[in-house]
Amino acid sequence: MFPIDIRPDKLSQEMLDYSRKLGQGMENLLDAGEIDTGVTPRDAVYREDKLTLYRYQRPSEVAQQSVPLLVIYALVNRPYMTDIQENRSTIRGLLATGQDVYLIDWGYPDQADRSLTLDDYINGYVDRCVDHIRETHGLDKINILGICQGGTFSLMYTALHPDKVQNLVTMVTPVDFKTPDNLLSAWVQNIDIDLAVDTMGNIPGEILNWTFLSLKPFSLTGQKYVNMVDLLDDPEKVKNFLRMEKWIFDSPDQAGETFRQFAKDFYQNNAFINGTARVGERPVDLKQITCPVLNIYAMQDHLVPPDASKALNGMTGSEDYTELAFPGGHIGIYVSGKAQKEVTPAIGEWLNQRS
Amino acid sequence: MSNESLFNDNWLKLQRDYWEGLTDMGRKAMGLEDSRAQSNPWQAAMDQWWRTVSPAAPEPARDFMQRLLDQGKSYFGMVEQMTRGLQGADASKGGWDLLSKTFDDMQKAFSGQLSGGDEAVRKMMGFWEMPLDNWQRMMSSLSPMMPGDWLRNMPHDAVKGNFDRMLSAPGLGYSREEQAQYQDLTRRVLDYQGAFQEYMSFFSQLGFKSVQRMRDFVQARANDGQTIDSARTLYDSWVACCEDVYAEEVATPEYARIHGRLVNAQMALKKRMSVMVDENLGALNMPTRSELRTLQDRLQETRRENKQLRHDLDVIKRRLAALPAPAPARTTVSAQAPAPAPAEARKKVAARKKTAAKSSD
């Protein structure tokens, strides 16, 4: 049998359909208006430099937990991914389980922030946000949820300030940065990080975008848009797609000195695994983390492979360590329908049992 | 004028060849070679429609639609390439020969052996250039003075030897430093060009392997008695083959080296340019990037200390506030330390003056 049998009339029909959907899509795009992101009402409760600490408004019908939860997002991309639309919101899911949710928005660093170090972020910004929340609630300890690079920050913070953290949740968090399937890490090994930071000052978001798109270039820069045409006749799906598109390309620049330290210490020298992690003058010993730890990873994660996260098992001093595997990818763990049903309720339940 | 004169035919031909060579090199450097675009009727209709409606679209929607349109062209261009002449074909009518020739042509195109401006193959190459296109867009956004496709098609190996010799000549005289800087700049341009061309060459090999993967895939479908009966299935299969081969190849140490070389070469070039811009700004008595960075570092250090001091002060204030209120002080005269007598105070001042005089000797 000959394997390609595309009849001319069928090919013509496919071309016609594509054209029709594009035409219809144009109408929907023009009607899409402003793309809103971050849907849950919140209040800015603390500001420092470009950082804003938000507290989300809690639904009155849910019984509230007394220990608040601070969400620490990565410096890469923007935290509104956790609250991207009404029916796909990690924040909303957490609120529904009774958590009192705070979130750090790092803002967009510019060249004046080039000298910010990991120490400034972790022992400075994060610590002051934690102190603000502790004072507001009159508590010694709060809960922390760290996401991706924010999870790595959370691990360092908890190791350095164990007296301020009651429970720690890490989501898609890299711990072992040199697992064989970690493409990002493989690519970074030959890059002269010092030269890049000395040249650029801050590392532009465009470089990070290029790097992430390069992981799957044909799917992410080609096929995705062809598939998108099939959704163009549904205004709501167009809007959802545009939200994701906005988030993907909304990449803040990275403060140069922090990038230098993070890329060299972790991506090139695997600091947690080799026991060489430091923040400022202080060594980071993960064994100092004795609070309960919930470590969540995504089984199809191409940015932080599962083994990179699972490496945390046995590295902390906690006697209450739990892992949760999510059958999806790095983004799906926040935005997929499955995540809304499985991940956020599980986090809420785990915290409620320990708060 | 006889052919023996100074401006004989050979000399004129040499001049003509020289200018044609230079023009050709310029065209290649700008990526203009083989840019004779021809559209099929579907593409022409889509282009016409887009020209009509796009001016009315706001900027973000226009960019997005342009992307959809470009991918549509790539999609159907790929299908056109793979199916031309195959309609109604079967094994007995030489369909396999036609398909095999298509794959051969694609592989030749990736290995640079296909001459002429075959439009369908060019579109196929366009699809495979997406990773390169991403790099070029990123480059352009970082360096407005260096468009992403800069130097892409400029011959490298042919000119590098001569440039290397020229660049090894030491600078002389009053402007020696400046000459050395320009020599270094040129070296970095050549390094970047070499790195970029190595990157492109790697992708050409990937393309070649992807065609082979697609060929195997199609053969496997035939063996299983399955057919590909829609453009979308064919396109999705092609993307899957490309992505599989890409994932295998970019996980190798060889790719990590090529990738690192490209990024490092770009940074080294940009750094050299920044240094030269800084020197020119300095000569104009304008603030330079390097001076600004020094100020930023000092400012951040001061702010860091300031925040720490403020934090320490808050802690002290809080501790003080938490202390039990002191018992009211007794105010009887006898409880107070006696004030020094005027004579005793004068002695202490004199002693201090003596000590100061000694230490300044």
Per-residue pLDDT at B7 exceeds 50: no
Distance, in Å, from the CA atom of B222 to the CA atom of A173, rounded to the nearest integer, reads 44
* Cβ–Cβ under 8 Å, residues A148 and A76: yes
Q: What is the CATH number of the domain that holds A153?
A: 3.40.50.1820
Per-residue pLDDT at B295 exceeds 90: yes
Question: A90: domain range?
Answer: 42-204+253-354
Which pLDDT belongs to residue B354?
52
Which pLDDT belongs to residue A221?
80
Are A29 and B90 in contact (CB < 8 Å)?
no
Are A26 and B65 in contact (CB < 8 Å)?
yes
Per-residue pLDDT at B358 exceeds 70: no
Per-residue pLDDT at B6 exceeds 60: no
Residue from A190, A279, A300 whose CB has the most chain B CBs within 10 Å, to mutate: A190
Which pLDDT belongs to residue A265?
98
Across A128-142, A171-185, B51-65, least confident range: B51-65
Per-residue pLDDT at A201 exceeds 80: yes
* Cβ–Cβ under 8 Å, residues A98 and A281: no
Kindly report, residue by residue over A103-153, the tens digit of the pLDDT. 999 999 999 999 999 999 999 999 999 999 999 999 999 999 999 999 999
Q: Is B131 on the interface with A (CB under 8 A)?
A: yes
Q: How many A-B residue pairs are in contact by the CB < 8 A criterion?
A: 202
Across A96-105, A302-311, B239-248, B329-338, least confident range: B329-338
DSSP assignment of A133-200 equals: HHHHHT-S-EEEEEETHHHHHHHHHHHH-GGGEEEEEEES--S-TT-TT-HHHHHHTTS-HHHHHHHH
Residue from B213, B239, B311, B318 whose CB has the most chain A CBs within 10 Å, to mutate: B239
Q: What residues of chain A lie within 8 A of the CB of B226, using their CB?
A: 1, 3
Nearest-by-Cβ selection for B90 from A2, A196, A222: A2
In a domain? residue A227: no
Which pLDDT belongs to residue B153?
59
What is the mean pLDDT of the segment spanning B55-83?
73
Which pLDDT belongs to residue B34?
46
* Cβ–Cβ under 8 Å, residues A126 and A153: yes
Convert A104-131 to b/e letters by CB count within 10 Å (16 or more is b): bbbeebebbbbbbbbbbbbbbbbbbbbb
Per-window interface: A 8-37 vs B, CB < 8 A: 8, 10-11, 14-15, 18-19, 22-23, 25-26, 29-30, 32
Place of tokens 């392997």: B209
* Cβ–Cβ under 8 Å, residues A209 and A249: yes
DSSP assignment of B11-33 equals: HHHHHHHHHHHHHHHHHHHTT-T
Chain A closest-CA separation from residue B72 CA (Å): 6
Chain B closest-CA separation from residue A62 CA (Å): 35
Which pLDDT belongs to residue B361?
43
- Dihedral over Cα of A133, A67, A158, A88: its sign: negative
Q: In angstroms, what CA-CA distances link B86 with B52, B89, B119, B233?
A: 34, 5, 17, 16
Chain B closest-CA separation from residue A165 CA (Å): 20
Q: What residues of chain B lie within 8 A of the CB of A210, using their CB?
A: 134-135, 137-138
In a domain? residue A318: yes
In a domain? residue A28: no
Residue from B300, B301, B317 whose CB has the most chain A CBs within 10 Å, to mutate: B300
A129 is catalytic: no
Which pLDDT belongs to residue B152?
59
Structure-block tokens of residue A339 = 């995540």
Report which of B92, B226, B244, B58 is spatially closest to residue A33, judged by C-alpha positions: B58
Which pLDDT belongs to residue B73?
77
Kindly report, residue by residue over B87-140, the tens digit of the pLDDT. 555 555 677 788 888 888 878 877 766 555 455 555 555 666 666 677 777 777
SS3 state of residue A322: strand
Q: What residues of chain B lie within 8 A of the CB of A25, using their CB?
A: 65, 68
Are B267 and A196 in contact (CB < 8 Å)?
yes
Are B243 and A30 in contact (CB < 8 Å)?
no
Nearest-by-Cβ selection for A114 from B133, B226, B293: B293
Place of tokens 């000298």: A115
pTM for the predicted model, two decimal places: 0.80
Chain B closest-CA separation from residue A320 CA (Å): 33
Which pLDDT belongs to residue B35?
40
In a domain? residue A52: yes
Per-residue pLDDT at A283 exceeds 50: yes
Distance, in Å, from the CA atom of A165 to the CA atom of A179, rounded to the nearest integer, reads 29
Which pLDDT belongs to residue B97?
81
Per-residue pLDDT at B335 exceeds 50: no
Per-residue pLDDT at B55 exceeds 80: no
- Model confidence at B38, in pLDDT bands (50, 70, 90)? very low
Per-window interface: A 136-195 vs B, CB < 8 A: 183, 186-187, 189-192, 195
Which pLDDT belongs to residue B326?
76
Kindly report, residue by residue over A206-241, the tens digit of the pLDDT. 899 888 888 888 888 888 888 888 888 888 888 888
In a domain? residue A313: yes
Torsion of CA B165, B170, B172, B175, to 10 degrees: 90
Q: Domain count for chain A, please give it.
A: 1
In a domain? residue A9: no
Domain ranges of chain B: 124-294
Q: Is B43 on the interface with A (CB under 8 A)?
A: no
Q: Is B124 on the interface with A (CB under 8 A)?
A: no
Average pLDDT value over all residues in chain A: 93
Chain B closest-CA separation from residue A125 CA (Å): 10
In a domain? residue A345: yes
Strand partners, A293: A168, A321
More confident residue, A248 or A74: A74
Helix (H) or strand (E) holding A4: none
Which pLDDT belongs to residue B274?
92
Task: List the catalytic residue out of A148, A172, A203, A311.
Answer: A148
Per-residue pLDDT at A188 exceeds 70: yes
Give Cβ neighbours of residue A219 (< 8 Å, ≥ 6 apart): B239, B243
In a domain? residue A235: no
CA B55 to chain centre: 30
Percent of chain B with pLDDT over 90: 23
* C-beta pairs of A326-329 under 8 Å, 24+ apart in sequence: A326/A296, A326/A297, A326/A298, A326/A299, A327/A298, A327/A299, A327/A300, A328/A298, A328/A299, A328/A300, A329/A298, A329/A300, A329/A301, A329/A302
